[in-house]
Amino acid sequence: MRFDAVYPNFIFFAIFVLLYGFNLNVSADLGFQEHGSGYQFDTGALKGELRKGGQSFGLAPVTDIKSGAQIAASLGLLTPYRLLDSERRYLPDVREWRSTAELLADGAVQVNWTADENHPFDLQIVYRWATAEALDATVTVSAKKLLPKFEVFMTCYFSGFNLCHGSGSQGLVAADRKLGDWLCFPRDNEARKIIADGRWKHEPNPVDFIPVENYKYPFGVRASLDNGLTSIMLAAPQDCFAVLMPHHEDNHYSLYLSLFGYDIKSGHSATARCRVVISRDISEKKAVELYQRAFGSGAK
């Protein structure tokens, strides 16, 4: 009697082990799980919580399972922050604007902010794991009035990721302090005009972003010199008009994406998608591959 006729499942398992290795720590379920008023996750590579305590924050804490290193600072990864257009800044910011959330059937989490007297639009973000190391945030704005050159400012705050680069026309550009305190890589010259239209002068905490050069790819890269962990925050060019960051030495250890950047008419909706990837030793070539895998083969 043939061995493979009696033990077909064993042979399948043996082939699986040979191809992928034997790692019981890898989770097949990339969905979130309800945990009090937040949502826990364990992808096999990363574990932590989304919206801990019901706050309008992204991922925090986040732990690298292999090393035990803490990745996210208290303000979290893929946390929406400022809401801006060419005429005003909408306060309170997203982190202080009351929201509700629900777990979807596929394990994603949908967060909703409802229009009120201070916010003439609905905001929705769906968080969904694309891989064990990559989380997507799909951001939708539904306007109740014209929103000129509207912007949702998405943020990632890392724990000790003390090396930072943007994507310049000839490759990665280090966020050196000699370039300025707050640096910006715009999509094009029209995007430079949006950044300079006065929106960043509004209180509280006005910022003067200094354009370095127009980006080739819409991503920023942060790395930890201590443990080799690297993160890339990225989006599609049509969704992201600027990638922003502080210089290396600034202890925010952050990356930012300026999403949308165009008029959203009353009664209309607009959607943008961004992603954060956390891995090890992401080279410039690997960063471009991660972008192309997520958003297509070409630069802007």
pLDDT, tens digit, 9 for 90 and up, residues 56-114: 999 999 999 999 999 999 999 999 999 999 999 999 999 999 999 999 999 999 999 99
CATH of 30-295, one of 2.70.98.30, 3.40.50.1100, 3.40.50.12660, 3.10.180.10: 2.70.98.30
pLDDT of 7:
36
| DSSP assignment of the chain | --HHHH-HHHHHHHHHHHHH---TT--S----EEETTEEEEE-SSEEEEESGGG-S--EEEEEETTT--B-EEEEEEEEEEEEE-SS-B-SS-GGGS--EEEE-TTS-EEEEE--BTTBSEEEEEEEEEEETTEEEEEEEEEESS-EEEEEEEEEEEESS--EEEEEETTEEEE--GGG-SEEEEESSHHHHHHHTSSGGGSSSS---PEE----SSSEEEEE-TTT-EEEEEEE-TTTEEEEEEE-TT-TT-EEEEEEEEEEE-TT-EEEEEEEEEEEE---HHHHHHHHHHHH-SS--
pLDDT of 297:
79
pTM (predicted TM-score): 0.90
pLDDT of 17:
33
pLDDT of 108:
98
Domain boundaries, the chain: 30-295
The pLDDT of 210-231, averaged and rounded, is: 95
pLDDT above 90 for 8: no
